[in-house]
């Protein structure tokens, strides 16, 4: 053993070389600043074959600049979504307060399993979860939850609780006995199929309830389906409602669903299914719950106030659900991973608890506050609570109200502008969120009439296919003709969430998630469409 080499190695990589770290961080910040002068996306070409063919590991110890050089080409080649022209999907830039929290977390690198490995970071998670729970459930009495590695895992927690409710002991002896099913809407996120498959009930036992034109779950069909399933002897483990679908921002009636699942379960003398709200996208509506519509401190327009009022009323339904998924890395503008699974009542987590003898290396775990006794992961990073609390403290309630309302305002503006064009049809005009899904057809087409015919089932199949092809073709034509320096980047969905007559509706999509996006961006979208066709 060479003590000098060992000392040099530990001094280089296991101390806190402040000067070098600050210098490297400044270089990275300079790169991000330079990126701001370039068009969004596609900064460098990708070559996966080369990456796989050259997975080199340096033989000799180096230094921190070697570490920087190894990752910098990929750092430079990754879009930070800091451009106001990014309107493709439910993703925005991370805010600076979140970065402060994330950096603080990285310096300490806590593992949120037991106090021994994270100390006060565990306390910070409890604080963050409680703050979010009080926002969402409106001052619930016994909230608890955990930050997870993504919305899929948060939804999986809910599905597992539901299975344990209707099939006790499944955690230990597996699924046996009568059929176990879960229910979602047709517009729900595909992650629900993931959890159905991974939890063992199977994707065939995930029942999709058709949606209304506003992409909300149809309550009449939910009730009828529940009666049918109970008559067949099935055990309904969970119903996962959606608050803000990924494409069209459809919002399920949470209170209405609660009333139905309880009433139908009682009628069949069955266990009430676990009711979960997947609010990964739409949870920020809860920031508006206490906004005073009369005082209107943010000086919202009458039209915007009406949409905010509808969101407020819809968000009141969160009080009726058992648990919720939120993604702070979406409209919380935080860093990944910022997902959380939160229960309305702490006792719901008893369905996930392990005995201490099952985790002997966590023998010091305390049931009162250590998540290791019920979490899926043994290793959980602290980025979620650090970025959340830094953001909530920095931006504040009114700041989030302003940001959320602005996104809704911009979406409403684009919807109104598009609806005035004969060859355009907004498919989610009534949903009060930041997403706009719409059709663009060639000039001379009456898009509204064509939509009505599709919904009524009176349009011949050949005509429908031709129109859908035109919608796609025009989107691709725009993609090829835009000026990347000034034109927004839109996206395309093959199914926006409403399926009239079982027909998936393709659509263009614009999602307002960037706080610096303004009306000039909308002007360019509309004028570009007018020039396009």
Q: How do the domains of the chain map onto residue ranges? A: 3-80, 109-400, 406-532
Cis-peptide, bond into residue 337, ω within 30° of zero: yes
Alpha carbons within 13 angstroms on the beta-carbon side of residue 513 total 32
pLDDT tens digits in sequence order for the chain, 533 residues long = 788 888 888 888 888 888 999 999 999 899 888 888 888 876 556 677 777 777 778 888 888 899 898 888 888 888 888 899 999 999 889 999 999 999 999 999 999 988 888 889 999 999 999 999 999 998 788 889 999 999 999 999 999 999 999 999 999 999 999 999 999 999 999 999 999 999 999 999 999 999 999 999 999 999 999 999 999 999 999 999 999 999 999 999 999 999 999 999 999 999 999 999 999 999 999 999 989 999 999 999 999 999 999 999 999 999 999 999 999 999 999 999 999 999 999 999 999 887 767 776 776 777 677 787 888 888 899 999 999 999 999 999 999 999 999 999 999 999 999 999 999 999 999 999 999 999 999 999 999 999 999 999 999 999 999 999 999 999 999 999 999 999 999 999 999 999 999 999 999 999 999 999 999 999 999 999 998 86
Instruction: List the Cα angle 247/253/258 in 5-degree steps.
Output: 130
Question: How far apart are alpha carbons 371 and 493 in whole angstroms?
Answer: 38
Question: How far apart are alpha carbons 486 and 145 in whole angstroms?
Answer: 43
Whether 109-400 shares its CATH topology with 406-532 is answered no
Question: How far apart are alpha carbons 331 and 484 in whole angstroms?
Answer: 24
pTM of the model: 0.94
Joined tokens for residue 308 = 């905010």
- At the topology level of CATH, where does 109-400 sit? 3.40.640
Q: 57: which residues sit within 8 A by CB, 6+ positions away?
A: none
Quick one: angle between helices 383-419 and 96-108, nearest 10?
Answer: 160
**Would you mind telling me the total number of residues written for the chain in this entry?**
533
Joined tokens for residue 227 = 């009666």
Give 232's DSSP letter.
T
Domain 406-532 matching CATH 1.10.3720.10: the answer reads: no
Cα–Cα distances in angstroms (integers) from residue 439 to residues 19, 178, 288, 475, 482, in the given order: 54, 45, 30, 9, 18
């Amino acid at each position: 053993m060479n003590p000098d080499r060992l000392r040099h190695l530990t001094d280089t990589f296991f101390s806190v070389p402040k000067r070098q770290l600050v210098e490297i961080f400044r270089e990275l910040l300079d790169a991000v600043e330079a990126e701001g002068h370039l068009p969004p996306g596609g900064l460098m070409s990708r070559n996966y074959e080369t990456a796989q063919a050259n997975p080199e590991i340096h033989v000799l110890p180096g230094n921190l600049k070697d570490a920087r050089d190894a990752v910098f080409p990929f750092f430079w080649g990754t879009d930070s979504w800091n451009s106001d022209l990014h309107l493709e999907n439910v993703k925005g830039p991370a805010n600076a307060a979140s970065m402060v929290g994330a950096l603080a977390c990285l310096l300490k690198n806590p593992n949120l399993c037991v106090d021994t490995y994270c100390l006060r970071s565990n306390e910070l998670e409890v604080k963050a979860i409680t703050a979010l729970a009080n926002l969402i459930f409106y001052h619930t009495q016994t909230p608890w939850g955990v930050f997870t590695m993504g919305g899929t895992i948060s939804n999986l927690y809910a599905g597992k609780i539901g299975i344990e409710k209707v099939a006790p002991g499944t955690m230990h002896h597996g699924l046996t006995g009568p059929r176990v099913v879960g229910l979602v809407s047709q517009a729900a996120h595909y992650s629900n199929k993931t959890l159905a498959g991974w939890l063992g009930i199977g994707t065939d036992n995930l029942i999709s309830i058709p949606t209304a034109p506003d992409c909300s779950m149809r309550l009449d069909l939910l009730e009828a389906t529940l009666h049918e399933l109970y008559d067949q002897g099935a055990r309904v483990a969970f119903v996962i409602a959606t608050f803000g679908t990924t494409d069209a921002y459809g919002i399920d009636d949470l209170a209405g669903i609660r009333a139905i699942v309880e009433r139908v379960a009682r009628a069949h003398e069955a266990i009430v299914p676990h009711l979960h709200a997947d609010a990964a996208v739409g949870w920020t509506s809860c920031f508006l719950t206490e906004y005073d519509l009369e005082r209107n401190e943010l000086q919202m327009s009458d039209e915007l106030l009406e949409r905010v009022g509808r969101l407020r009323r819809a968000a009141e339904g969160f009080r009726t659900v058992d648990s919720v998924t939120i993604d702070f890395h979406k409209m919380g503008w935080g860093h990944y991973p910022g997902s959380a699974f939160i229960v309305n009542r702490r006792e719901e987590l008893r369905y996930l608890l392990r005995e201490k003898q099952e985790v002997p290396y966590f023998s010091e775990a305390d049931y009162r506050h250590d998540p290791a006794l019920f979490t899926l992961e043994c290793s959980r990073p602290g980025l979620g609570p650090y970025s959340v609390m830094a953001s909530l403290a920095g931006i504040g309630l009114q700041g989030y109200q302003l940001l959320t309302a602005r996104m809704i305002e911009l979406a409403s503006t684009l919807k109104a502008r598009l609806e005035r064009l004969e060859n355009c049809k907004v498919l989610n005009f009534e949903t009060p969120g930041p997403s706009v899904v719409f059709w663009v057809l060639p000039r001379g087409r009456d898009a509204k009439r064509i939509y009505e015919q599709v919904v009524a089932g009176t349009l011949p199949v050949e005509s429908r296919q031709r129109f859908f092809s035109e919608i796609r073709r025009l989107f691709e034509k725009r993609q090829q003709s835009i000026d990347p320096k000034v034109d927004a980047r839109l996206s395309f969905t093959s199914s926006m969430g409403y399926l009239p007559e079982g027909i998936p509706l393709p659509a263009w999509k614009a999602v307002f998630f960037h706080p610096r996006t303004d009306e000039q961006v909308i002007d360019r979208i509309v004028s570009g469409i007018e020039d396009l066709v």
